[in-house]
Amino acid sequence: MDVSELTDEQLAAETVREGSDGPAFVELLSRFRERIWRVCFRLMQNETDTNDAAQEVFVRLFVNRAKFEGRSKYSTWAHAIAVRTCLSLRRSKARRRKHETDATREFQHRHGDATPSGDPGLSMDLMKMLESLNEDDRAMLIMKYAEGHSYEELSGIFELSVSGCKMRVSRAREKLRELYPNQLG
């Protein structure tokens, strides 16, 4: 059988039958490597974290391959795993960073050290603006506008109703407008 002629969904079913990282799984990786990496990069924002996240996504796709039930497109299922993995990794990193910041502040407080503040006049780019949103809203805007997913696909990725996705996107956009009225129209 020539796996290159199969649909993504047929390949996903074949990966379960193979029971290992056979030709069907290798073909799926080949098809999705770039897309998954791009999603991870948009969510993680640097190459090192992106590579770690993408690797974790591919491991999860392999380990959970039997859980794909075909209720959505394989790409939606794979992107959902990518988004959830990246959000989990970002939250974990944020907790570590907060702990490190708290420890640094405590040290500075005890020793009377001060840190220089950044230049308040620096301009903000879009990714910095997106950082002001909570992780889920940020991911939803990226998947909607940067990756071009429909509300139906977002519904599958984020496990929300279509109307819930529309509401979250609208609220996130409004929050950005409120926070950055001069940068956003």
Tens digits of residue pLDDT in 147-171? 899 999 999 999 999 999 999 999 9
Give the mean pLDDT of the chain. Answer: 85
Measured in whole angstroms, how far is the alpha carbon of residue 71 from the centre of its chain?
Answer: 21
The confidence score (pLDDT) of residue 122 equals 33
What residues does CATH 1.10.10.10 cover in the chain? 124-185
If one counts every other C-beta atom within 10 angstroms of the C-beta of residue 142, the result is 19
Answer yes or no: pTM beyond 0.85: no
Percent of the chain, pLDDT > 70? 83
Residue range 124-185, CATH number: 1.10.10.10
- We find that the CATH architecture of domain 1-111 is Orthogonal Bundle (1.10)
Mean pLDDT across 131-142: 90
Which regions of the chain carry the CATH code 1.10.1740.10?
1-111
- What integer pLDDT is reported at residue 98 of this predicted model? 58
pLDDT of residue 109: 57
